[in-house]
Amino acid sequence: MYAMTLDEKTNIALRSIELKKAGKKDEAMALSKTIPVSLSVAKAMKMAFGGDYVKNSGFNLSEVEAVYGKEWFDR
């Protein structure tokens, strides 16, 4: 699996912020969702909103799935 570097994540996040500032909120959110979510963020969101929401959120969960497996969301 290709792991995105922090630099790459940072550049996408900055582009997404620019889009938001330009009033393109949907595009900004769509771009944000391509950044692989870190384990700490996924765990926090699962705790607060449940695994089902995280699994179906549309955010990039590749890092989480690589470490915990796809079944983690349902546990």
Partner 1 sequence: MVKNGLIDKIFDSVANIDIGRQNLATSGKTEAGLSILTDGLQNAISAYQEARTNCNLELIWRAEAAYLAHEKEICEETIREKGKDMANLLILSGLSNMLVKSNDALRSLNTLETNPQDYVKAETTHPTTGTPYRVRSGVPKDAFHNACNYNIKCLQHSLATPGINQPEKELMKHRIENLQYAKIEYEKLQKKALGLPETTIKRR
Could you list the residues that contact partner 1 (CB under 8 A)? 6-7, 9-10, 13-14, 17, 20, 29, 32-33, 35, 37-41, 43-45, 47-49, 53, 57-59
DSSP 45-73: HHHHH-HHHHHTS-SB-HHHHHHH-GGGG
Of residues 7 and 71, the one with the C-beta less far from partner 1:
7
Residue 34 phi, psi (nearest 5): -85, -15
Cβ 41 vs Cβ 63: under 8 Å: no
Q: In whole angstroms, how close is the CB of 74 to partner 1 at the nearest point?
A: 18
Of residues 39 and 66, the one with the C-beta less far from partner 1:
39
